[in-house]
Amino acid sequence: MDDLTPEQARAALADVERGRLSVVSQIDVPHWYWWALAAGWVVLGLISDLDHPWITTGATLAFGAAHSSIAPRVVDGRHRSNRLSVRADVAGPHISRLVLGALVLLAGVTVVAALAVDADGANHPTTAASVLVATMIVLGGPLLMARVRHGAARIRS
């Protein structure tokens, strides 16, 4: 191996860092996931407001089953697109926990908001609460992932 000058070594390290940051920029959950989740949330709210407990239970189970089959493949942040799969140690092990924890929190927000809207006398409280939470999902999901990318970019390899 040839001897490198300090300038060449710095340039090589800068190239490596640019490549790492390029990979870090690919950490994300596909955008379709947030939109599909939000749409499903609103549909569940609409169904719940129909006041047919068996239909609501069936729809909730179907939504949960669909989400549990899709989520493990996309909420780890490693597969934003088909072009690149980010290594697990680069993406970090915490992304799935963050996303699923946020969903549990949003379920609580849905219940509290629906109770508040119902107390105010609205006809469709769960639908109203679901639309609020769906908006939070569509806007907040990408913000959450931006924070994850920011944190991953700060970690030096």
What is the tally of structural domains in the chain? 1
> What per-residue confidence (pLDDT) applies to 14?
83
The residue whose two tokens read 């169904």 is 47
Residue 31's domain comprises 6-154
Overall size of the chain counted in residues:
157
Helices (H), the chain: 6-24, 31-48, 53-74, 88-91, 95-119, 125-154
pLDDT at 97: 87
Predicted pLDDT of residue 45: 96
pTM: 0.80
pLDDT of the residue at 72:
84
In a domain, 101, yes or no: yes
pLDDT at 1: 53
pLDDT of residue 15: 83
Give the per-residue pLDDT at 149. 80
Distances (CA, A) of 77 to 19, 25, 81, 98: 18, 11, 10, 11
In-domain check, residue 1: no
Provide the pLDDT for residue 7.
Answer: 87
Across the chain, which has 157 residues, the per-10-residue mean pLDDT values are 78 80 75 94 96 95 94 76 65 80 95 94 94 96 86 68
> Residue 55 has what pLDDT?
96
pLDDT for the residue 107: 95
The pLDDT, as a whole number, for residue 105 is 96
- Whether residue 81 lies inside any domain: the answer is yes
Instruction: Note the pLDDT of residue 10.
Output: 85
In sequence order, which residues have a C-beta less than 8 Å from that of residue 66 and are 6 or more positions away?
40
